[in-house]
Amino acid sequence: MEFLINFFTDYGYFAVLFVLIICGFGVPIPEDITLVSGGVISGLGYTNPHIMLVVSILGVLLGDSTMYWLGRLYGVKILRFRPIRKMLTLKRLQMVRTQFDKYGNRVLFTARFLPGLRAPIYMVSGITRRVSFIRFVLIDFFAAIISVPIWVYLGHFGASNLDWLNEQIKKGQFVIYVIIAVVALIVFWKWKQSRQNKQQAED
């Protein structure tokens, strides 16, 4: 976080925008830490926190939209690219497609809160072409206005006490991991239940 704070202090809004866009590509830079760091430099007086929020939401949407369009333009052929193939395996592609069939737009909304799965899900939404770009952006936006302001303003108000801020980030990340675990358990339970029902029907 200290590196990002220093980087953002030197280059301001454009640096935050750039890092958030590449976060959308699945680059291993935590999006929450990036958003908090953007908030910190606002709290230190280098930028305006409200403008920083707008820039952050724009960066998030641009990064996510890029993944959507890569999937939409190239389809499954994008799996020929080795970096993409590592992030989006055939097994993961099939799994996400199945979830789209069952839950539709809810998968996209939930993906915003699932680090590590976010980029593959957005790419698959483009590959399947079951979601128009306008709908994709709207769903992503409504999810972003829940999470992004929390991280940005947390950084803004905690800028003077980084130790306290780090503790709050850890708590926030823990809550996210708990949510991911709960979602995974629900999905597994429903999958197991549907499989049992299918076997009973065949018998």
State residue 157's pLDDT score: 84
State residue 184's pLDDT score: 64
Query: What average pLDDT does the segment 35-47 reach?
Result: 89
Separation of alpha carbons 57 and 49, rounded Å: 12
State residue 162's pLDDT score: 72
Which residue would you say has higher pLDDT here, 191 or 27? 27
Structure confidence by residue, pLDDT tens digits, 151-181:
898 888 888 777 767 777 777 666 766 766 7
Structure confidence by residue, pLDDT tens digits, 53-94:
999 999 999 999 998 998 888 887 777 777 676 667 677 777
- Binning the chain into helix, strand and coil, the percentages to the nearest 5 are 85, 0, 15
State residue 81's pLDDT score: 74
Closest to 184 (Cα-Cα) out of 126, 124, 119, 99 = 99
Report residue 133's pLDDT band, with 50, 70 and 90 as the boundaries: very high
Report residue 188's pLDDT band, with 50, 70 and 90 as the boundaries: low
How many helices and strands (H and E) does the chain possess?
A: 9, 0
Instruction: Tell me the pTM.
Output: 0.76
Is there a contact between 154 and 167 (Cβ–Cβ < 8 Å)?
Answer: no
Query: What average pLDDT does the segment 27-41 reach?
Result: 86
pLDDT exceeds 90 at position 51:
yes
State residue 203's pLDDT score: 59
Burial of residue 41, with CB atoms counted within 10 A of its CB: 0-12 exposed, 13-18 middle, 19 or more buried: buried
Query: What average pLDDT does the segment 30-53 reach?
Result: 89
State residue 180's pLDDT score: 63
